[in-house]
A = this chain, B = another copy of it.
Amino acid sequence: MSKEFFERLRARAVRIDVEEHLRARVERGDKLRVKLGLDPTAPDLHVGHLVVLDTLRMFQDEGHTVVVIIGDYTALIGDPSGRSVTRPMLSEDEIARNAETYFKQLDLVLDREQIEVRHNSEWLASMTAADILRLMAKATLQQVLQREDFADRMKEGTPISAHEILYPFNQAYDSVAVKADVEIGGTDQLFNLLFGREIQKAYGLEPQDIAVFPLIEGTDGVQKMSKSLPNFIGLTEPPEEIYGKTMSIPDRLTEKYLRLISGLDAGQQAEVLAMKPRDAKAALAFQLVKRLHGEDAARRAEADFTRKFRERTAPDEMPEFDATNLDLVGALVASGLAPRGRGDARRLIEQGGVRVNDVKVGVDHRLEDGQTLSVGKRSFVRIRVR
């Protein structure tokens, strides 16, 4: 059982440090504390987060404990630069509300009974200036600046506010405070996870094992799924939105979504992948709605999508458009849907008026052969690539 769990974990992960150590602990049946840090300023999760959440659930199903750390202390401070009004201090009420929003989403995947909830104010609020000095003395500036975002900003000369250096230390110290055995995250978290190991060692603890997992691309098929882009599928969006947005992903992403966030086992995945591409994607969309809203909602969303799609894309009413490239802005202009040029096309996209296969898309969306492209309720064309 534990052996099979570890093999599934390894198949999902991009990298595990230290693999043999974690394997031994899992197979020996140690009960592990698996850390998950949450930033209560940004409580909306998307299906990209299922990569990590499903992995945490796998740990829970093996009897391990997920330790959720709510970063309330940092949120209480807000953006301390005093220069930015975009990241204001949160009140305790707002933090509690945001944390509850988080847990509602976590409940879609995790077993609340096997979650230990901690707030980082428990250990950060009582730290003195001397404690911070001692913490920062555990690593060199050069180590911290290896972190990809810092390294990029140093190279480009983009200002790094000096207090930002503290965040990786605080985050790593969380692993000390909760005595984490394991921490997992997306590949973008690799530095933070490894840094947690270093800081635990410096405080005389056995370092946590870490595992990083792939990030999935959003509905545009190009950029990583992100709340700050119009390419995400929110965990709590209505069934019809989740279904329709999933139907708008490029076919080549179906396998990755299936493997990492569908919740289907290997046999079920293989069945889906044996279908025609359009049907496989529909099965994926059905499954995503099913796991987030239940089977009835999935059926309704599917029917709704099919009906709308049929109404809007009846072939006898729709002109075809031979696309020479699959750039959305270019296609809108060339097909006459955005008659006033590229600026017009961008504005239409930004206003949410542009749909591909009846799903709103962002400016980075890449078209595929056979898709319908529409602006507003009336104008649409079918894309053909010869």
Report A's interface with B, CB cutoff 8 A.
73, 76-77, 79-82, 124-125, 127-144, 154, 157, 159-166, 169-170, 202
How many copies of this chain sit in the oligomeric assembly? 2
| B166:A136 contact, CB within 8 angstroms | yes
Task: Give the chain B neighbours of A81 by CB distance below 8 A.
Answer: 137-138
Task: List 9 tightest A-B contacts by C-beta distance, closest first.
Answer: A136-B163, A80-B137, A127-B129, A137-B163, A140-B159, A136-B162, A81-B137, A141-B160, A80-B134
CA distance A166 to B144 in the complex (A): 15
| A160:B134 contact, CB within 8 angstroms | no
| B127:A73 contact, CB within 8 angstroms | no
CA distance A131 to B132 in the complex (A): 11
Task: Give the chain B neighbours of A79 by CB distance below 8 A.
Answer: 137
For the residues of A in contact with B, the DSSP-based class is: helix
**CB closest chain-B residue, reference A202:** B82
Give the shortest distance, in Å, between A330 (CB) and chain B (any CB): 40
**CB closest chain-B residue, reference A173:** B129
CA distance A159 to B145 in the complex (A): 12
Task: Give the chain B neighbours of A142 by CB distance below 8 A.
Answer: 154, 157, 159-160
CA distance A84 to B25 in the complex (A): 35
| B134:A124 contact, CB within 8 angstroms | no
Give the shortest distance, in Å, between A239 (CB) and chain B (any CB): 42
Give the shortest distance, in Å, between A152 (CB) and chain B (any CB): 13
**CB closest chain-B residue, reference A166:** B133
CA distance A82 to B125 in the complex (A): 23
Task: Give the chain B neighbours of A131 by CB distance below 8 A.
Answer: 129
Give the shortest distance, in Å, between A341 (CB) and chain B (any CB): 41
| B82:A137 contact, CB within 8 angstroms | yes
Give the shortest distance, in Å, between A347 (CB) and chain B (any CB): 36
Known: A137-B81, A166-B136. A130 touches B73 (CB 8 A): yes
Task: Give the chain B neighbours of A139 by CB distance below 8 A.
Answer: 161-162
Residue of A80, A154, A202 with most partner-chain B CB within 10 A = A80
Residue of A77, A133, A161, A202 with most partner-chain B CB within 10 A = A133
With A81-B138, A82-B202 given, can you name 16 additional A-B contacts, CB distance below 8 Å?
A: A77-B130, A80-B130, A80-B136, A80-B137, A125-B129, A127-B129, A129-B131, A129-B170, A132-B163, A133-B163, A138-B162, A140-B160, A140-B162, A141-B154, A142-B159, A144-B162
Give the shortest distance, in Å, between A80 (CB) and chain B (any CB): 4
19 A-B residue pairings within 8 Å (CB atoms): A77-B130, A80-B136, A81-B137, A82-B138, A125-B129, A127-B128, A128-B128, A128-B129, A136-B163, A136-B165, A137-B161, A139-B162, A140-B161, A141-B154, A141-B160, A141-B161, A142-B154, A143-B162, A162-B165
Task: Give the chain B neighbours of A132 by CB distance below 8 A.
Answer: 129, 132, 163, 166
Residue of A81, A135, A141 with most partner-chain B CB within 10 A = A141
Task: Give the chain B neighbours of A165 by CB distance below 8 A.
Answer: 136, 141, 162, 165
**CB closest chain-B residue, reference A144:** B162
Which of B134, B143, B202 is A77 in contact with, Cβ under 8 Å?
A: B134
CA distance A41 to B131 in the complex (A): 20
**CB closest chain-B residue, reference A142:** B159
CA distance A129 to B165 in the complex (A): 13
CA distance A82 to B139 in the complex (A): 11
Residue of A130, A154, A162, A170 with most partner-chain B CB within 10 A = A162
Give the shortest distance, in Å, between A289 (CB) and chain B (any CB): 42
